[in-house]
Structure 1
Amino acid sequence: MSKNWIPPVRHRPAMDASVPVVVLATGHVGHGIARSLGRLGVRLYGVHADPRSPAGRSRFWHERLTWNLMEEDEAESVAWLLQLAERIGTRPVLIPTGDISALFVADHALDLEESFLMPPQTAGLSRALSNKRQMYVLCKQYSVPTAETRFPASRGDVENFAAEATYPLMLKGIDTETLRRRTGVGMVIVDDAASLLARYDELETPGVPNLMIQEYIPGGAEEVWMLNGYFDHHSDLRFSLTGKKMRQYPAYTGLTSLGVCVWNDAVTRQTVEFMKRIEYRGVLDIGYKHDVRTGEYKLLDVNPRVGTTFRLFVDSAGMDVVRALYLDLTGQRVWRGRPCEGRKWVVENFDIISSLRYWRDGNLGFRDWLSSLKGLREASWFARDDLAPFAMMSLRSVEWAFENLRKS
């Protein structure tokens, strides 16, 4: 066990839940936060871009609000949030979730910090970690293992590289969210020069280079490691757990659809050292891939925010990164338990789709699928004490399926 591991508490101490929380909620993260803190009695205000968002149906929201950061002017969004804090009547904790809301909060921290409680992040650091090119520079600067990467400025650069490259390779978005919104994918695997050039032509944004070519590290989801942690205002680790992806959506290269908690001391040490050196503060979701050729854990992605899989990482005392954030920002002790080895978490709708793909490819049989669900402790959408998000997700999934059938 790492020297960073704090002895667990025997009994969860009483906590003060009087400070409210504003969540800039997206996807299957918002209602997870609502459940995590709402079950402790915290008053939660959920800000959703879509009034029909399944996450917005959680019974743990004290109030559901609609505001779209992507569509509204940034100055107006800041003013709206300040007005919300004033109406709440106290200084609430502010929790962004997706990339857009996290970077919005980071960019406007000086305007927001007097009205909201949030980690005192170094200016520009969240953007540097979220940008694949800047993250790669930081890894090289601080000698953190990472996949070798090229950042072509033109098709000519790709042509020159393609002739000499070793395949397969990964073609990824520097700004993954922008690429995914425009094309529907965040990354693809290419097996030869022709495929590389064809997919580059298909995915690149004309005049605004947003693609990078990355070394392919062999191995499937079993070699992908994740860490969720919380770092205080001294950049000291207050809570962390590690785990692995078992299945992904989209299959092979996407988000975690089924994950398992497994402690990894090397990943923890490497992350703690890196975050301390760059003086990172707040919630962290970080991903590595173990390179069996070198034995290194190569950093792939850094999300300076609450990750989509954060409820996978819950210890024996019920601690997760959101609870750690809340306790620390409200001046309370961050109590901790022991890692729940083998704890599994699933995103139901995503995992059904990805499992079918693995099955069609001959990589998942029925018995293997059934066995993979042993140890499942929590689902993203279904919860006995909060059924509405699951019901709305199911409805939206049926609508999505019919829409795709109509288009085909």
Structure 2
Amino acid sequence: MKKPTAVICGASATGLGVGRDLGRQGIPVVFADFESFRPGFASRYASKQHKGIVADSEDELLDRLVVFAAQQEHKPVLFQTTDQMVLAVAEHRDRLEQHFRIADSTRPGIADVVTDKKRFYDLCCQYEVASPRTAFPKTADEALQLVEPFDFPVILKPIHGHLWRERLKGKKLLVAETIQEFHQIIDRFRADVHDLMIQEMIPGPEKNLWVGGLYLRQSDGEPGPVFVGRKLRQYPPGFGSASLADACWNETVRDLSVEFLRKIGYRGVCGTEFKFDERDQTYKMVEVNPRQTLWFALIGASNVPLNYYAYCDLAEQPLPALEEQRNGTKWLLFDKDLVSATKYFFTGKLGLISWLRSYKGIRVRAVWSWADLWPSFSIARTYLHRLRTRFSSSNK
């Protein structure tokens, strides 16, 4: 019997990791994105019968997804690897679930809540989950009042992060080291302060950032595969997405993740993040992602078949056996990690020997793979194109 196709919305490195995990199991994989140069489209695991789904707008992409699904013998399984597509699928779920198998987590009341940082913080308070101290100003004047009890430095985060990506030039947040810097940031975004949150900065190294990758079954909401690891470095340095991470089991992180997701009725793929606060020896929940995230390729490389398990559960096929997580496996996003490690090296926070040793145990990379080379060439071609474009613009 032919296996249902997996349609992966998002052909960046995150979607590529999902496609590789599923493609190795013989599952047909089709990528969908707004940009045709994304590395997933160049993968050997992308369907040879279908070149992929590319569109200029969200509405057009959804229309093309429906057209594609209607042509399939079996309902495809739909995965979303970006917040934009999670929210788009949730908004149009009634239409899409007629044609796709979609996780319960991608629905209004779940997807829109955990991607909204204020509503997510309210959930943490409701269920008494420890989280960083946070305030939500409505105006610039209120922001200056609310920040008074905080110790500096403080963090300012967009409540709806995916809407600020271009404005922050890829950064996830802003850091105000002093009250003067805080004033400058508030003045800069005065008209949009209502979409910013003030949050305490929990001290401690990046290895205190713990991440969980989970899948909760559609039938009963109970956990299937669960993975726990750590961020070792991030890009941008100190605050951002993982650039180097490892598999390191932590029962407390596992239990906190499962307990919270059960309470909110979550069923599907999820990524959690905690920061261990050395001041009071507690794990503070930082965020929940209702989808796969960039470092999820580490999960499969650590003997945890999360993406395949999710596919089988959604496709109503026999579930794969679960084995113990392999600790010590590392994942690397080389180009970003090189920037972060270089900064730490020149600021005296990372020695040369420690830098080199940090790469020991790497089994999987975000894009590079000897078994799937073309996505790396696609990334290189994209970088060259961007450099050419910038050079041409600067000479005009």
Given the two structures, how large is their TM-score scaled by the length of structure 2?
Answer: 0.92
Q: Which runs of 5+ in 1 are unaligned?
A: 1-15
**Distance in 1 (alpha carbons) for counterparts of 2:77 and 2:149:** 51
Does 1:24 find its partner at 2:24? no
CA contact (8 A) 2:139 2:190 kept: no
* Paired position in structure 1 for 2:69: 85
**Distance in 2 (alpha carbons) for counterparts of 1:107 and 1:231:** 22
Equivalent position amino acid for 2:236 in 1:
P
Aligned-partner SS, 1:172: strand
Does 1:291 find its partner at 2:277? yes
58-67 vs 342-351, which moves further:
58-67
* Paired position in structure 2 for 1:383: 369
Summarize the Cα distance change of 1:301–1:403 in structure 2 as closer, same or farther, 3 Å threshold. Answer: farther
Aligned-partner SS, 2:272: strand
Aligned-partner SS, 1:242: strand
CA displacement 1:39-79 (0-9 Å, x = unmatched): 111111111211122221101110332434xx5253x4433
Report the CA distance between 1:211 and its aligned residue. 0.8
Does 1:35 find its partner at 2:20? yes
CA contact (8 A) 2:11 2:39 kept: no
* Paired position in structure 2 for 1:5: none
**Distance in 2 (alpha carbons) for counterparts of 1:383 and 1:292:** 37
Report the CA distance between 1:402 and its aligned residue. 5.8
CA contact (8 A) 2:301 2:363 kept: no
2:224 to 215, 238, 250: 238
Equivalent position amino acid for 2:294 in 1:
T
Report the CA distance between 1:209 and its aligned residue. 2.1
**Distance in 2 (alpha carbons) for counterparts of 1:407 and 1:215:** 40
CA displacement 1:66-118 (0-9 Å, x = unmatched): 434xx5253x4433221110122320100111110111112222211121112
* Paired position in structure 2 for 1:305: 291
* Paired position in structure 2 for 1:177: 162
CA contact (8 A) 1:17 1:41 kept: no
CA contact (8 A) 1:228 1:285 kept: yes
**Distance in 2 (alpha carbons) for counterparts of 1:162 and 1:148:** 11
- Pairing of 1:386-405 with structure 2 (within 5 A): 386-400=372-386
Report the CA distance between 1:407 and its aligned residue. 5.3
2:31 to 23, 26, 46: 46
**Distance in 2 (alpha carbons) for counterparts of 1:274 and 1:198:** 37
CA displacement 1:123-151 (0-9 Å, x = unmatched): 32111001100000000001111111011
Does 1:275 find its partner at 2:275? no
CA contact (8 A) 2:117 2:159 kept: yes
CA contact (8 A) 2:228 2:254 kept: yes
CA contact (8 A) 1:48 1:64 kept: no
**Distance in 2 (alpha carbons) for counterparts of 1:355 and 1:81:** 40
* Paired position in structure 1 for 2:175: 189
1:119 to 95, 100, 103: 103
1:367 to 328, 333, 353: 353
Aligned-partner SS, 2:339: helix
CA displacement 1:20-40 (0-9 Å, x = unmatched): 111112421122122111111
* Paired position in structure 2 for 1:131: 116
**Distance in 2 (alpha carbons) for counterparts of 1:401 and 1:352:** 19
* Paired position in structure 2 for 1:58: 43
CA displacement 1:279-306 (0-9 Å, x = unmatched): 1010001111011111111111111011
**Distance in 2 (alpha carbons) for counterparts of 1:320 and 1:100:** 25
* Paired position in structure 2 for 1:67: 54
- Measured on the aligned residues, the alpha-carbon RMSD in Å equals 2.0
Summarize the Cα distance change of 1:117–1:205 in structure 2 as closer, same or farther, 3 Å threshold. Answer: farther
**Distance in 2 (alpha carbons) for counterparts of 1:209 and 1:54:** 36
Equivalent position amino acid for 2:52 in 1:
L
Aligned-partner SS, 1:333: coil
CA displacement 1:159-204 (0-9 Å, x = unmatched): 22344432121111111122222221221221221111112223x2
Q: Which runs of 5+ in 2 are unaligned?
A: none
**Distance in 2 (alpha carbons) for counterparts of 1:328 and 1:91:** 14
Q: Percent identity?
A: 28
CA contact (8 A) 1:78 1:111 kept: no
Report the CA distance between 1:376 and its aligned residue. 0.5
Summarize the Cα distance change of 1:352–1:397 in structure 2 as closer, same or farther, 3 Å threshold. Answer: farther
CA contact (8 A) 1:152 1:209 kept: yes
* Paired position in structure 1 for 2:134: 149
Does 1:99 find its partner at 2:83? yes
Summarize the Cα distance change of 1:30–1:165 in structure 2 as closer, same or farther, 3 Å threshold. Answer: closer
Given the two structures, how large is their TM-score scaled by the length of structure 1?
Answer: 0.90
CA contact (8 A) 2:53 2:64 kept: no
